[in-house]
Chain A
Amino acid sequence: MSATDKQSSDARRYFLRTFLAMIAFTAILVAIDKLIDPSLNDWDAMSAWPLVLLTCLPLLIYGYEVVRYVRSIDEMLARMQVRAAAVATLAMLLASAIFGVAEIYGVMEPLNMTMLLPIAAVAHSVASMVQQVQVR
């Protein structure tokens, strides 16, 4: 198998598994929110922690797949992914600062922190695509 074939195979695995991890993460969040919301069931705070850990599971799988993918690709593509991750982190920090200030001043309703994750995902994808275009 050539380097390109191997990288294509790794990329397919990466996109499929991270996509499934995000679907699982969203499904668990929705399930917790709609079906087993601790506040609706009079659960105490300690009982809710296993649910928090449950949402962490797909995120851990996501993180593992990202690290595995970055280690499997060549140095230029890996550098692009790391830069894109830095951009995504910055976007998430900016979004949390903006939404946080807006919330303090009553401009908007309190936001669930997990809503920041899609912002990071979009920022990562855009930063990755921009870099791909730049080296063409």
Chain B
Amino acid sequence: MKNRLKELRGEKGWSQQALADHLDVSRQTVNALETGKYDPSLPLAFKLGRLFGEPIESIFDDGEGG
């Protein structure tokens, strides 16, 4: 699944480690999320949405949108 995590993280000026600390996950997981190799659970997706102040659908794109 495509996402804007890297872009949003860049806007905040955070490293992957900093984002990982905010989300309470490992840096490895943040890297996998950014590269689209891992799709987050709904609770983690909501956490990301709240952290960046964006709705989930504006962060993640499943390619099904019109």
Cβ of B4 within 8 Å of any chain A Cβ, yes or no, is no
Cβ of B2 within 8 Å of any chain A Cβ, yes or no, is no
Interface size on A, residues (CB 8 A): 13
Interface residues in B21-46 (C-beta closer than 8 Å to A): 21, 23-29, 31-32, 35, 37-38, 40-41, 44
Residues in B whose Cβ lies below 8 Å from that of A75: 25, 29, 40-41, 44
Assess the A3–B40 pair: CB atoms within 8 A.
no
Interface size on B, residues (CB 8 A): 18
Interface residues in A1-28 (C-beta closer than 8 Å to B): 2-4, 7
Interface residues in A92-136 (C-beta closer than 8 Å to B): 132, 134-136
Residues in B whose Cβ lies below 8 Å from that of A73: 26
Which single member of B20, B35, B38 contacts A3 (CB below 8 Å)?
B20
Residues in A whose Cβ lies below 8 Å from that of B25: 3, 74-76
**Shortest beta-carbon distance from B28 to chain A in Å:** 7
Cβ of A32 within 8 Å of any chain B Cβ, yes or no, is no
Looking at chain B's contact residues, the main secondary structure is helix
Assess the A4–B40 pair: CB atoms within 8 A.
no
Cβ of B3 within 8 Å of any chain A Cβ, yes or no, is no
Residues in B whose Cβ lies below 8 Å from that of A2: 17, 20-21
**Shortest beta-carbon distance from A44 to chain B in Å:** 53
The docked-state distance in angstroms from the alpha carbon of A11 to that of B3 is 29
- For A74, A134, A136, which residue has the most chain B Cβ atoms within 10 angstroms? A74
Q: Given known contacts A74-B25, A75-B25, A135-B38, is B32 in contact with A4 (CB within 8 Å)?
A: no
CB<8 Å pairs between A and B, sample of 18: A2-B17, A3-B21, A3-B23, A3-B25, A4-B17, A7-B26, A73-B26, A74-B25, A74-B26, A75-B44, A76-B26, A76-B29, A77-B26, A77-B29, A132-B28, A135-B28, A135-B35, A135-B37
Instruction: List the 3 closest pairs (A to B, CB-CB), nearest first.
Output: A74-B25, A135-B32, A76-B29
